[in-house]
Amino acid sequence: MKKTTIELESLNYAAKEELKTLRTNILFCGSDKQVIMVTSAVMGEGKSQISTRLAVSLAELKKKVLLIDMDLRKSVMVSRLKAQGIDKGLTHFLSGQGTMADVVYSTNVPKLHMIFSGPYAPNPTELLSGERFQKMLNSLKALYDYIIIDAPPLGMVVDGAIIAKSCDGAVMVLESGAVKYRLAQRVKAKLEDAGCPILGVVLNKIDRRKTGGYYGKYYGKHYGKYYGASDANAEKLHEDAKRHNLEDDIRRDLQK
């Protein structure tokens, strides 16, 4: 299977302990909470860092973990982690322009695999609503102990609510003093409407520049004419996995 290396920022002792607390709380939520999305109200609250660190922390316990970057509109995962050799991602697979073997990467963190978002998509809502997305999750659940999803901010776009319908639980990341109460309540309501239990809230106290409104300006711009393939022409996920021996590769790598 494909391989990449990622770079993680160093954390102080207090941050490490808080992440361990989050990990412990997730573990005590039960084995049925396998697919967990991490979301926020607005951009810049630190959800990508939390989702990455949660995935790494679970992998450190020898759990088989897959981290999926599902922010198909404004992903920062590749650049933030300085991931090397990423040529295909989730949008390739969901649009029928790639197989699972093309998009699942093993990393230099033992037991941690990743799927990156891929190129910007002009139709993320349609891609995430398609049958191919649900089949992908169902197949991957048989291979991993935990699937951590870095989802778009629920207070900005509808994509997160669509993803939530396929998740077993959600973690909300809120920056202290940056999000108004009513907006946080709307995010909570969207998760509840999607039938996705809220497993906890991470209050992120890191000071950062306010970025409200950026998503609204960014979305709808900077998209290429990349897409065009339909789900109807896509091969079945299980056939893709068998043809490329992906399941065997994943299991072999996770046993190391």
pLDDT of 201 over the 80 cut = yes
Query: How do the domains of the chain map onto residue ranges?
Result: 2-254
Cα distances from 122 to residues 32, 80, 169, 253, in angstroms, run 34, 23, 27, 34
Name the more confident of 67 and 77: 67
Q: Give Cα 25 to chain centroid, integer Å.
A: 19
Instruction: Give the pLDDT of residue 216.
Output: 36
Residue 203: pLDDT band (50, 70, 90) is confident
Residues 163-190: what's their mean pLDDT? 88
pLDDT of 117 over the 60 cut = yes
pLDDT of 115 over the 90 cut = yes
pLDDT of 221 over the 60 cut = no
Residue 249: φ, ψ to 5°: -65, -45
pLDDT of 131 over the 50 cut = yes
Question: Considering only CA atoms, which of 193, 197, 209 is closest in space to residue 169?
Answer: 197
Name the more confident of 70 and 221: 70
CATH, domain 2-254, list 3.40.50.300, 3.50.40.10, 3.90.280.10, 3.30.565.10: 3.40.50.300
Backbone angle region of 195, left / alpha / beta, with phi > 0 → left and psi within -120 to 50 → alpha? left
How far apart (Å, rounded) are the C-alpha atoms in residues 127 and 228? Answer: 11
Residue 51: pLDDT band (50, 70, 90) is very high
pLDDT of 232 over the 60 cut = no
Least confident residue range of 136-150, 166-180, 208-222: 208-222
Least confident residue range of 30-34, 84-88, 174-178, 191-195: 174-178
Name the more confident of 6 and 158: 6
Instruction: Give the pLDDT of residue 239.
Output: 53
DSSP track, the chain: -EE---------HHHHHHHHHHHHHHHTT-TT--EEEEEESSTTSSHHHHHHHHHHHHHTTT--EEEEE---SS--HHHHHT--S----HHHHHTTSS-HHHH-EE-SSTTEEEE---S--S-HHHHHHSHHHHHHHHHHHTT-SEEEEEPPPTTT-SHHHHHHTT-SEEEEEEETTTS-HHHHHHHHHHHHHTT--EEEEEEE-------TTHHHHHTTSS--S-----GGGSPPHHHHHHHTTHHHHHHHHHT-
Residue 240: pLDDT band (50, 70, 90) is low
Cα distances from 84 to residues 88, 141, 185, in angstroms, run 12, 26, 38
Give the chain's mean pLDDT. 82
Instruction: Give the pLDDT of residue 127.
Output: 92
Model confidence pLDDT, tens digit, residues 90-105 = 999 999 999 999 999 9
pLDDT of 174 over the 90 cut = no
pLDDT of 39 over the 80 cut = yes
Angle at 171 between CA 168 and CA 177, to 5 degrees: 160
pLDDT of 21 over the 60 cut = yes
Angle at 84 between CA 122 and CA 6, to 5 degrees: 100
- What percent of the chain is modeled with pLDDT above 70? 84
Residue 230: pLDDT band (50, 70, 90) is very low
pLDDT of 24 over the 70 cut = yes
Residues 163-167: what's their mean pLDDT? 94
